[in-house]
Amino acid sequence: MISTNDVKPGMALDLPEGLFQIIDYQHVKPGKGKAFVRMKLRNLQGGAVVDRTFRADENVPRAIIDRSDFQYLYRDDMGYHFMNTVTYEQLAVPIDIIAEDADYISDGMVIRLSLYDGNPIGVELPASVELKVIHAEPGVKGDRVSGATKQVTLETNLKIQVPLFIEEEDVVKVDTRTRTYITRAS
């Protein structure tokens, strides 16, 4: 349990409605009446953002989220399988937790998983990843307009727009937040 006076953004709370992360909070002392704390919370399972109000100095249950590095091994009907890089323990993560982040996970990649009571609740990808181009249409000679792009397919079947000089077998760096091309990797 933690007092609402001691909370900080980023902390996780285990409320009856589910597991929530504090995005923002505000301690309010009105002219009349008792002080209260207004919090903006994100549901860690669904992603919905809600506003909740608590009395000042009210105790709320704090959730301890463990974040560990895991290496991606393979995917099957049970989900995505990862191995802890320290203990070598394997863990199956359901497909719905990975969701569209699967477009950036390639064989052998190390990512950070968030665990609560030993169960995976989320994935933290790096800001950018390097992926190999498996399909690219050739650039047309003379079509060298500044800023021209073409669509390519990456090894994870993600399709992005890249400059015309990118060819098959090239490795490109992709921004995981905006799903865009950054640069060609060496």
* Residues 182, 128 contacting (CB under 8 angstroms): yes
- Domain 128-184, architecture per CATH: Beta Barrel (2.40)
Predicted pLDDT of residue 124: 87
Alpha-helix runs per DSSP H in 39-173: 95-98
Domain boundaries, the chain: 2-63, 66-124, 128-184
Predicted confidence at residue 18, as pLDDT, reads: 87
Pair 45, 19: CB distance under 8 Å: yes
Query: DSSP state, 46?
Result: T
Question: In terms of CATH architecture, what is 66-124?
Answer: Beta Barrel (2.40)
Q: Beta partners for 84?
A: 70
Q: Quick count: other Cβ atoms within 10 Å of Cβ 156?
A: 17
CA dist 172 and 129 (Å) reads 8
What local confidence, expressed as pLDDT, does residue 56 receive? Answer: 87
Domains 2-63 and 66-124 share a fold: no
* Residue 161 to residue 141: CA distance in whole angstroms: 19
Q: Which residues of the chain fall short of a pLDDT of 50?
A: none
**180 vs 127: CA distance, rounded Å:** 11
Report how far apart, in Å, the C-alpha atoms of 73 and of each of 15, 22, 88, 169 are.
34, 32, 12, 22
Residue found by looking up tokens 């905006």 in the block: 178
3 state DSSP class of 100: helix
Q: Which two tokens stand for residue 99?
A: 């969701």
- Enter the CATH code of domain 2-63: 2.30.30.30
Residue 144 burial by Cβ neighbours in a 10 Å radius (0-12, 13-18, 19+) = exposed
